[in-house]
């Protein structure tokens, strides 16, 4: 027996590209969550106060994302602006989730005239681009993070309602639902005890997808000036503030824009994982 034969063959660990993408998405999402709740862990500078002698400094070790026209650290403003953007996205997605699920499941269980009315409303909402619908609502009620969240939330109602109705129509045809009705269960009991819990999978899987869309809509509305008023940092507001200086200070818009893009891609990756888990 030769010496080489005694050496065990080394096991090669190969990471699939999807595993790498999932790991990166988890890292990004954890970072965004930490930026939202504990921004002081990542920067000690004040996002509202700048140094007049440090205007328009390019990215460096001291200022990772450079500085703006007031000498404020752009990375600090991105980190602190995460809270307003993410809070607005969570509120908006929650509005769409709750209202859309209730409407969709109710329409699927009751059917008849209720189903017809709800689905016509959903058709109207789906006929309008979500961003345009949110823009109209915010323009009517005025700028501000709360109004933006409500606007994007109403725009998110239709997708949740459509998915919830489809699942409700599937579940109500199952035998245990018929058994519950025969045993004398009320429509409300059938709805909340049987249909809604067994329709939750696809609805939950839709949350990350709508959360990513909501983040983009909030950033877009902030870019148009409907978000948090200056100098409060917000992702869309930061993009708007830097657009006038693209020629000389490209980092003011480019780097925050990359952050928004990476965050949305990470959320989309989480959505695909949930869809795979629920086999959608």
**CATH number of domain containing 222:** 1.10.3720.10
Q: Which of 257, 250, 213 is nearest to 235 (CA)?
A: 257
pLDDT value of residue 86: 93
**pLDDT score for 280:** 59
The verdict on residue 239 lying in a domain is: yes
Domain assignment present for 6: no
pLDDT of residue 7: 47
Does the residue 110 lie in any domain? yes
In a domain, 108, yes or no: yes
108, 115 in Cβ contact below 8 A? yes
pLDDT score at 108: 86
Instruction: Identify whether 149 is part of a domain.
Output: yes
User: What separation in angstroms does the CA of 193 have from each of 15, 161, 188, 198, 204?
Assistant: 42, 19, 8, 9, 17
Q: Is 235 domain-assigned?
A: yes
Number of domains in the chain: 1
Task: Provide the b/e sequence for 9-25 (b: ≥16 CB within 10 Å).
Answer: eeeeeeeeeeeeebeeb
Looking at residue 1, the DSSP 8-state letter turns out to be -
pTM of the model: 0.85
- Consecutive 10-residue runs of the chain (280 residues): their mean pLDDT? 50 57 90 94 88 87 90 92 92 94 88 89 88 88 87 92 89 77 73 80 89 92 86 89 87 93 92 75
Predicted pLDDT of residue 160: 94
Predicted local confidence at residue 13, as pLDDT: 43
The per-residue pLDDT for 217 is: 92
Is 9 a domain residue?
A: no
C-alpha angle 159-163-169 in degrees, rounded to nearest 5: 145
pLDDT at 193: 77
Token couple for 222? 């902030």
Residues of the domain holding 212: 40-277
Q: What pLDDT shows up at residue 2?
A: 52
In a domain, 213, yes or no: yes
């Amino acid at each position: 027996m030769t010496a080489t034969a005694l050496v065990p063959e080394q096991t090669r660990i190969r990471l699939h590209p999807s595993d790498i993408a999932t790991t990166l998405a988890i890292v990004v999402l954890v970072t965004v969550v930490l930026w939202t709740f504990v921004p002081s862990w990542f920067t000690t500078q004040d996002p509202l106060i700048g140094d007049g002698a440090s205007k328009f400094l390019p990215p460096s070790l001291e200022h990772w994302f450079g500085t703006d026209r007031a000498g404020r650290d752009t990375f600090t403003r991105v980190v602190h602006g995460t809270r307003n953007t993410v809070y607005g996205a969570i509120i908006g997605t929650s509005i769409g989730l709750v209202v859309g699920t209730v409407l969709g499941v109710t329409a699927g269980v009751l059917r008849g005239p209720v189903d017809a009315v709800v689905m016509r409303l959903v058709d109207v909402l789906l006929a309008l681009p979500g961003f345009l619908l949110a823009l109209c609502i915010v323009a009517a009620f005025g700028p501000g993070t709360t109004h933006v969240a409500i606007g994007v939330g109403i725009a998110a109602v239709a997708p949740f309602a459509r998915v919830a109705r489809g699942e409700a129509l599937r579940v109500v045809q199952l035998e245990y639902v018929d058994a519950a009705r025969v045993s004398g269960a009320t429509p409300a009991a059938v709805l909340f005890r049987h249909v809604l819990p067994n329709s939750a999978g696809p609805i939950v899987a839709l949350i990350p997808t709508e959360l990513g869309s909501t983040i983009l809509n909030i950033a877009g509305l902030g870019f148009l000036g409907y978000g948090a008023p200056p100098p409060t940092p917000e992702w869309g507001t930061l993009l708007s503030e830097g657009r006038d200086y693209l020629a000389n200070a490209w980092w003011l818009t480019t780097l925050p824009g990359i952050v928004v893009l990476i965050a949305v891609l990470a959320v989309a990756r989480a959505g695909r994982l949930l869809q795979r888990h629920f086999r959608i």
